[in-house]
């Protein structure tokens, strides 16, 4: 693969960032729901 | 349950299109493998536009109906739009270095207007933190979100209006989609990645909206608790 470092950097940040954001969103949402149930 | 199914479909689509973009579709004759970056780059830019457009429309909805759900939609779309626009800029930089010879060019209108779009909506998110009053915050944010959206067509048409390094719009007209100059497998991969990212966007929008609503309810109950405790702390007359 030519320019592999650039291709991998682009995909890693975009797909990895998407996965990370989704995971953080899940955590925040489940924490908010737990908070709601505790109330 | 439906949202969960949407999540699985979006996950499958993003994984599949990543594999296709990286390993299945051939490298471009002139640009080599760097051209593979175009698939998530263009898809991220499209989803960024979509998000900020939704923020502006939800802002109009709030100003018109004063329904807090519009504000939650605007917030969700702005946060997700900031993320996808940052991805688009990152992808563009990673493609620009091997193809243009530079990561960034300050004279390029598309690059500058996109960076401005990102800065405007980061500002929108920060601006929301300036007040605790939900009504005032929603109104101010709606105005900022609508005004900032003026930059969306400027970003899109910047490559037509001014000369720069960036090529003209990838999907500028229906004719370009129906009669593409690129080989069909490149076009199909690009459209597939656009669809996959749009599905992921829809899933994230629903989840972020649910979080925004839960946070708004928590904020409201805290406010009520504060008012109640202030009243009980007052000396009896």
CA distances from A7 to A11, B108, B146 (A): 6, 22, 35
Q: Which residues of B204-218 are buried (b: 16+ CB within 10 A; e: fewer)?
A: bbebbbbbbbbbbee
Q: Contact B87/B44 with Cβ under 8 angstroms?
A: yes
How would CATH label the architecture of B2-203? Answer: Up-down Bundle (1.20)
A4/B95 Cβ within 8 A: no
Placement of tokens 């320019």 in the chain:
A3
Q: How many CA atoms lie within 13 A of B16 on its CB side?
A: 17
pLDDT in tens, B142-192: 999 999 999 999 988 888 888 877 777 666 666 766 667 778 899 999 999
Rounded Cα distance, B222 and B225, in Å = 5
pLDDT of res. B220? 85
pLDDT of res. B177? 65
pLDDT of res. B96? 95
Rounded Cα distance, B67 and B182, in Å = 46
Q: How many CA atoms lie within 13 A of B146 on its CB side?
A: 15
pLDDT of res. B235? 67
Dihedral sign, Cα of residue B62, residue B67, residue B73, residue B78: positive
Please give the structure tokens belonging to residue B41.
């780059």
B95/A10 Cβ within 8 A: yes
Q: How confident is the model at residue B218 (pLDDT cuts 50, 70, 90)?
A: confident
Name the residue among A2, A13, A36 with its Cβ closest to that of B33: A2
pLDDT of res. B182? 78
Which residues of chain B make contact with A3, given a CB cutoff of 8 A? 32-34, 98
Residue of B nearest to A32 (CA): B214
pLDDT in tens, B31-87: 999 999 999 999 999 999 999 999 999 999 999 999 999 999 999 999 999 999 999
| Mean of the per-residue pLDDT values of chain B | 91
| Mean of the per-residue pLDDT values of chain A | 92
A22/B204 Cβ within 8 A: yes
Q: Contact B64/B41 with Cβ under 8 angstroms?
A: no
CA distances from B141 to B62, B124, B146, B188 (A): 10, 7, 8, 38
Detail the DSSP E strand segments found in A1-39: none
pLDDT in tens, B63-72: 999 999 999 9
Distance, first Cα to last Cα, chain A: 55
Predicted ipTM of the assembly = 0.94
Residues on chain A bordering chain B, Cβ-to-Cβ distance under 8 angstroms: 1-4, 6-7, 9-11, 13-15, 17-18, 21-22, 25-26, 28-29, 32-33, 35-36, 39
Rounded Cα distance, B118 and B89, in Å = 9
């Amino acid at each position: 693969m030519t320019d592999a470092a650039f291709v991998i950097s682009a995909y890693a940040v975009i797909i990895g960032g998407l996965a990370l954001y989704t995971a953080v969103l899940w955590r925040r949402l489940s924490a908010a729901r737990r908070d709601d149930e505790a109330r | 349950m439906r949202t969960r199914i949407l999540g699985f479909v979006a996950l499958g689509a993003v994984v599949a299109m990543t594999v296709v973009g990286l390993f299945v579709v051939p490298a471009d004759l002139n640009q080599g493998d760097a051209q593979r970056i175009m698939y998530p780059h263009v898809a991220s830019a499209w989803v960024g536009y979509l998000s900020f457009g939704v923020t502006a429309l939800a802002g109009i909805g709030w100003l018109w109906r004063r329904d807090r759900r519009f504000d939650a939609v605007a917030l969700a779309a702005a946060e997700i739009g900031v993320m996808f626009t940052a991805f688009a800029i990152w992808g563009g930089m990673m493609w620009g270095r091997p193809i243009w010879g530079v990561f960034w060019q300050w004279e390029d209108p598309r690059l500058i207007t996109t960076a401005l779009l990102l800065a405007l909506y980061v500002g929108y998110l920060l601006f929301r933190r300036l007040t605790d009053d939900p009504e005032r915050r929603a109104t101010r944010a709606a105005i900022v979100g609508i005004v900032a959206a003026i930059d969306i067509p400027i970003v899109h048409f910047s490559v037509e209006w001014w000369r720069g390094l960036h090529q003209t719009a990838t999907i500028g007209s229906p004719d370009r989609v129906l009669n593409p100059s690129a080989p069909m497998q490149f076009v199909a991969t690009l459209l597939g990645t656009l669809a996959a990212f749009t599905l992921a966007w829809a899933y994230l929008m629903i989840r972020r909206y649910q979080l925004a609503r839960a946070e708004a309810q928590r904020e409201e109950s805290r406010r009520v608790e504060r008012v109640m405790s202030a009243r009980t702390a007052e000396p009896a007359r």
